[in-house]
Amino acid sequence: MVIIVLKVKNNMGYENILNEIWNNPPKNVPNIVNNLKRKYNHTIYEVPDKAYMLVIELNEGFYGISWVCTKPEYQNKGYMTNLMNKMLKEKKGMFILKTDSATGFYERFGFTTIQNTNGKYIMALFNDTDCIDF
């Protein structure tokens, strides 16, 4: 399996990826993506033409996982598992994400639910506590 890592600083063509997976993404997606690409360094993890994940560096050692997408015909085949494993080997610190349906998937990697509001879950993972200085 080929995994491509695209490290991007303040420039991203992620809208094309979202449009490829969702023929008609929600109307707010372009605005959200444009705001992200202006504000943050980010990395796109990709199995070409199959699965994509955006990791945003919110601060040193603090990452947001966003827009996790797998084309329907490739779901449940391990592509996103491979992307998550690669990302968690490369990046160390605290990770946060929001999901409404994939809690079991993220729990396999050690994520813990820190908030549940009406079926919207905020999950977090620390894979290197030395990266966090309080």
Per-chain mean pLDDT for the chain: 80
Residue 44 in 3-state DSSP? strand
Check residue 71 and give its pLDDT.
84
Tokens of 98: 């929001």
Give the number of other CB atoms < 10 A from CB of residue 26. 9
Beta bridge partners of 104: none
pTM of the entire structure?
A: 0.78
Check residue 10 and give its pLDDT.
37
Check residue 113 and give its pLDDT.
96
Q: Where are the domains of the chain?
A: 4-131
Top-level class of domain 4-131:
alpha beta
Check residue 63 and give its pLDDT.
94
Per-residue pLDDT tens digits for 9-29: 433 445 555 555 555 555 666
Instruction: Inform me whether the pLDDT recorded for 123 exceeds 60.
Output: yes
Beta strands in 10-50 (DSSP E): 41-47
